[in-house]
Amino acid sequence: MFSAAIFDMDGLLIDSERPIMAAWIEAARTLDIELSHTQYLQVVGLATVESEVILGSLLGGPEAYRHAIAHVRKLLQLERSDGTPLFPIKPGAAEFLAALRQRGTRCAVASSSTRAQIQACLGSLDVLHHFEAFAGGDEVARAKPDPALYLLAASRLGVDPAQCIAFEDSENGAKAALAAGLRVVIVPDLKHPPASIVEQAFHVLASLNDATAHLPRWFPGELVRP
């Protein structure tokens, strides 16, 4: 039915949103501010510029934001000291990618993270080899929900967007994929997309653990040897 799969990364392939949120909450405390989960969720799925404006307002202005982001970067760097990946892979992701590879399904990543960050994160989790193409936020003029990232990823695969399924966790990501002409499978993470977006989805999964069962229908390519 479809010939390619294009994945978001943060919150979809890797569990990055939780440690990042925890770091921002801790950074806010250094400013004697209690940043709640609900407040932080306002920035999930937004472009960096938009999230900077919201967090700056919540924290007390540009100077407070600069202090907080420096603390966040320090906290996230310290988490690497034990030798474990900073952002672990999400449940079912590695198995689903391996199953797609076995079927000969072409895969790409379309993420607001930079291309270097994409390759570093996925390389550290030993899943980078499953992807043929990458589209990073530093390679397009407009972030999600603009369709540019998905159009770039499909172009680099050489596949018509209509022949691709996008896997997304966020509202803006789903909007971007839909605007680019892809079908969208939503796998919610910290913030569930609104009903108006869910209604437009091709499918909604509780986690990528549930995705492999749909492979014969979504990607009916012939099984190939590893």
pLDDT in tens, 180-191: 999 999 999 988
Closest C-alpha to 139, from 161, 113, 120: 113
pLDDT at 118 over 80: yes
pLDDT at 196 over 70: yes
* pTM for the full predicted model: 0.91
Decide: 92 and 211 in contact? Cβ < 8 Å.
Answer: yes
Neighbours of 70 (CB within 10 A): 11
The reported pLDDT for the residue numbered 69 is: 95
pLDDT at 199 over 60: yes
Q: Which residues of 10-47 are buried (b: 16+ CB within 10 A; e: fewer)?
A: bbbbbbbbebbbbbbbebbeebeeebeeebbeebbbbb
- Domain 4-15+87-218 has what CATH class? alpha beta
pLDDT at 192 over 70: yes
The reported pLDDT for the residue numbered 45 is: 78
- Give the pLDDT band of residue 220 (cuts 50, 70, 90): confident
CA triple 193-199-205, angle to 5 deg: 60
Residue 43: what residue type? V
Decide: 108 and 156 in contact? Cβ < 8 Å.
Answer: yes
Q: 11-15, 81-85, 156-160: lowest mean pLDDT where? A: 81-85
The reported pLDDT for the residue numbered 80 is: 62
